[in-house]
Amino acid sequence: MNNILEVDSVILNYGDKRVLSNIYLKCITGEVVGILGRNGSGKTTLLRIIFGELETTNKSVRINGQVISELYKSDGLIKFLPQFNFLLPTISVKQLFKSFKIDFNEFVTLFPGFEKYYKGRVTEMSGGERRIVEIYSILAGKSLFCLLDEPFTHIMPIHIETVKQLIEREKLKKGIILIDHQYENVINICTRIYIIENGKTNPVLSDSDFQRFGYLS
């Protein structure tokens, strides 16, 4: 079954400044939707609004036509990878994979070298290694949709390619929305792209749109 996530009618102000107002975004099972935009354009803010952790003046977030105001409270619908490390450093790796109901053996086939951490704690990993575990736990965990905030940042190039493979695998079961400053990787992996400019989501229909919407000079 293909599930559909739609977002529109978003209004968000910071003081006297209107950050988001003309938003429409759609993601369907099997799609990887990229959101690009300049710094401060509201990309991360939009992901937080979709997830339901950021209150707004107005919004409509729907899954299969049903309005859900706080998606994060609905088990199994959506998972969110924030741009900062979110795992508690004291949690054991074994416990982490058990709580997310994901297979550690499958993980190490994609990311060999992590076997040594299985009986240890997250705090024993480097920041980049912890990020890889976080990306995998969000993508491989059970949900209808995933929101990824800068999944390609702070990890090695060889791991970026593996994360892309993981995204390609997981999109067969869910819809994925991501943002990242490494726009080449976003363009390479995404089936559809929006650029946020002046609070509006603009669908990219041709290469010239990257210049037209002020993202690339």
pLDDT digits (tens, 9 = 90+) for 144-155: 999 999 999 889
Query: What is the pLDDT confidence band of residue 142, given thresholds at 50, 70 and 90?
Result: very high
Do residues 18 and 78 lie in contact, with contact meaning Cβ atoms separated by under 8 Å? no
pLDDT digits (tens, 9 = 90+) for 191-205: 999 999 999 999 999
Query: What is the pLDDT confidence band of residue 73, given thresholds at 50, 70 and 90?
Result: confident
Do residues 77 and 123 lie in contact, with contact meaning Cβ atoms separated by under 8 Å? no
Q: Count CA atoms within 13 Å of residue 126 on its CB side.
A: 7
For 193, the enclosing helix (H) or strand (E) is strand 192-197
pLDDT at 72: 85
185: three-class secondary structure by DSSP: helix
Query: In sequence order, what are the beta bridge partners of 33?
Result: 177, 192
Counting every residue written for the chain, the total comes to: 217
pLDDT at 22: 85
- Average pLDDT over the chain reads 93
Report H helices in 14-156. Answer: 43-51, 93-99, 104-110, 127-140
Region 43-55: what's the mean pLDDT?
93
Q: Which domains does the chain have, with CATH numbers?
A: 34-42+73-212 (3.40.50.300)
Tell me how far apart the alpha carbons of residues 105 and 71 are, in angstroms, rounded to a whole number: 30
pLDDT at 57: 81
Q: Which of 24, 52, 9, 8 is nearest to 145 (CA)?
A: 52
pLDDT digits (tens, 9 = 90+) for 105-128: 999 999 999 999 999 999 999 999
pLDDT at 132: 96
pLDDT at 109: 96
Query: In sequence order, what are the beta bridge partners of 18?
Result: 13
pLDDT digits (tens, 9 = 90+) for 177-188: 999 999 999 999
Tell me how far apart the alpha carbons of residues 182 and 169 are, in angstroms, rounded to a whole number: 21
Do residues 10 and 49 lie in contact, with contact meaning Cβ atoms separated by under 8 Å? yes
Region 43-70: what's the mean pLDDT?
92
